[in-house]
Structure 1
Amino acid sequence: MSTFSIRDLEHLSGIKAHTIRIWEQRYELIKPKRTDTNIRFYDDQDLKLILNVALLKENGVKISKIAEMTHGDMQREVLKLTELNLRYPEQIHALTISMVDIDEERFEKIISTNILKLGFEKTMMNIIYPFLNKIGILWQTGAINPAQEHFISNLVRQKLIVAIDGQYTVPADKSKKYLLYLPEGELHELSLLFADYLIKSRNNKSIYLGQSLPIMDLEAVCDIHKPDYLLSVLTTVPGPSDVQGYVDHLSEKFSDCQILLTGYQVIGQDVQAPENVTFFSRFDQMIDFVESHTLTLSNL
């Protein structure tokens, strides 16, 4: 069982901590537990309750009416909303519940429905990645346990691999060549996999080297394949004190390549991009870059 602070509930539900406390007092909607030292905390069931309340309120149900609902009534109303309403907030809410419950069947139904309606790319950009970003801070603080993190990450990874396999075509001889990798010690692979999908779906060549690649091995592969672009995602490594040196080293070692970087360690940090390095803060920027550098039939 995970434990959450009232601030965790606020981050996940969008309901202010002050409002949650008022609901506790006025409607006895939720009852926090207390540690031996009298510190308030909430459990998985409390989180699901607040998420359900938030969704119902967003869809016009008054808090006084919600407070009168039984647990079963509330669940039925929420299921109706998430199955009939494909707005992004409802779907992100439903994914959060499936994560808390470690409910693979529910997760699969949500994702499959959205892919059918929106397509894979829009589902990733508008639902899955906002969901991952929403709970990312809780992963880092330990509010969400490793089993929940691994459950979601592995299911998303499976979806990405299937989608990548479905994009296999033989690119034209003059197509741009991308080499994708993660630095040594970096294991957060989902963004790199999605980048691989975006590149291949636009009929470019992609060499995927995956997690934790030492730079000398990167050099060896570059010597063989001569890529046009190196692409990496710096999520946790190198750390803040080392990232500028790492970026500068890449720029010097691979001066014949355009280096494309994204991730928490370079975006919004005080990191300077050398001339042959480009930072992407969002996936739509990466898409624009790939599409603007993709050869069309008229260019071949």
Structure 2
Amino acid sequence: MNVSTYSIKDLEQLSGIKAHTLRIWEQRYNLLSPKRTDTNIRFYDDDDLKLILNVALLNDNGYKISKIAKMDLPEIRAEVVKLSERTLTHDDQIHALTICMIEMDEERFDKVLSTNILKIGFEQTMLNIIYPFMSKIGVLWQTGAINPAQEHFMSNLVRQKLIVAIDGQIYKGGGKKFLLFLPEGELHEISLLFAAYLIKLKGHKVFYLGQSTPRADLELIYKMHQPDYLMTVITTSPGAEQVQEYINDLCSKYKESEIILSGYQILGQDLSFPSNVKVMNYIRNIKEYLEELDPVVQEK
């Protein structure tokens, strides 16, 4: 089956509506039409998910379910668009982004992001909307509730916004030197890009190597620029069995620098960290970390 399929538990996790409530809506208002597998197991498709996400958003904002049930799909969508344009609650915006991702609606996704950036700024949009949204989607992607194409679609659009924001920060000299990279095989760079943005925003120098950096390239750039800090985020690569060796190698090879580590393979794991390692529990903590450094005195 090429289309995505969802259990009622998946719908609950994505929409925030309890499974019990969804069943009541299904029975009382014929709101959903579950399908059944050959073994008689109920499941829902993309159209069901899109509908319930829209219904949940309207219901959360005071629309009675009895009224929503009488609306056709274009009317429901029109109301959601109007609502997401005027509301400022973070949960509503996260909900709107989820709908855009499921529908692969690039224009709408971009508009929601751009509107929030204009209203609350880029940094707050990342911290209060994008990160909670990505956390929610990450869990569902790992459980197979959303497909890789939807996850890549969303990540690429967020990545584009981050690159534009980073380019808007002009280095004026002074500050510390940060070398940012991902290990070989590691492709999840949203957190590292956001760290690059915050570091540049504070006036420091960033050397950004990005995804899947070969060890030889990292060593070459390090020798050229002698950074004060190395930073990486390890989500999937190296894996659990190799990550300790990788950390030890980094710390031994680059002992003159402080090494900032974060990511799924680092946090909460049974690892030993040498003295020149700083573990960042959440990537947003980089902001507090930067505040502790000496203020940047820009070169004249």
- TM class by shorter chain equals over 0.9
Query: What's the secondary structure of 2:207's corresponding residue?
Result: strand
Compute the displacement of 1:50 (Å). 1.4
> How many residues are aligned here?
298
Contact 1:125 1:283 in 2 (8 A): no
Partner in structure 1 of residue 63 of structure 2: 61
Shift of the alpha carbon at 1:114? 0.8
Give me the whole-angstrom Cα distance separating, in 2, the residues matched to 1:216 and 1:299: 32
Match of 2:239 in 1: 239
In structure 2, the partner of 1:5 is 7
Q: Who is 2:83 aligned against?
A: 81
Q: Within 5 Å, which residues of 2 pair with 1:1-300?
A: 1-172=3-174, 175-297=175-297
- The 10-residue stretch of structure 1 (203-212 or 236-245) with the greater mean CA deviation from structure 2: 236-245
- Computed over aligned residues only, the root mean square deviation of the Cα atoms, in angstroms, reads 2.0
Partners of 1:38 and 1:271 in 2: CA distance: 46
Conserved? CA contact 1:204–1:294, under 8 Å:
no
Q: Distance in 2 between matches of 1:217 and 1:70?
A: 56
1:11 aligned partner, one-letter code: Q
Structure 1 residue 32: deviation in Å?
Answer: 1.1
- Cα displacement (A) at 1:241: 2.1
Deviation at 1:71, TM superposition (A): 2.4
SS in 1 for 2:271: coil
Contact kept? 2:171, 2:204, Cα under 8 Å = no
Secondary structure of 2:284's aligned partner: helix
Report how far residue 199 of structure 1 moved: 0.7
Larger deviation, residues 33-42 vs 195-204 = 33-42
- Residues 49-85 of structure 1, C-alpha deviations (whole Å, 9 max, x = no match): 2112221222223333333333233223222221110
Residue type of the partner of 1:205?
A: K
Alpha carbons 2:202, 2:296 under 8 Å: kept = no
State how far apart, in whole Å, the 2-side matches of 1:92 and 1:14 are. 12
Shift of 1:268: 2.6
CA distance in 1, matches of 2:188, 2:284: 20
Q: Secondary structure at the match of 1:200?
A: helix
The amino acid that maps onto 1:119 is G
Distance in structure 2 (CA, Å) of the matches to 1:143 and 1:76? 26
CA distance in 2, matches of 1:270, 1:205: 33
CA contact (8 A) 2:54 2:77 kept: yes
TM-aligned CA distance change 1:86 to 1:33, over 3 Å: same
The question of whether the paired residues in 2 share the 8 Å contact of 1:14 and 1:54 is answered with: yes
What CA distance in whole angstroms lies between the structure 2 residues aligned with 1:295 and 1:267?
Answer: 29
The TM-score normalised by the length of structure 1 is: 0.92
Q: Deviations over 1:88-117 (max 9, x none)?
A: 111111111111111111112111111111
Distance 2:21 2:250 in 1: 49
Gaps of at least 5 residues in structure 1 are none
Q: Which runs of 4+ in 1 moved over 4 A?
A: none
Q: Counterpart of 2:224 in structure 1: which amino acid?
A: I
Shift of 1:219: 2.0
In 2 relative to 1, CA 297–214 (structure 1 residues): closer, same or farther, beyond 3 Å? closer
* Distance in 1 of aligned mates of 2:227 and 2:135: 31
Q: CA deviation at 1:211?
A: 1.0
1:38 alignment partner, SS class = coil
Per-residue deviation, residues 130-153 of structure 1 (Å, max 9, x unmatched): 111111122223332232222212
> 39-48 or 268-277: which moved more?
268-277
Letter in 1 for 2:227: P
SS at 1:31 equivalent: coil
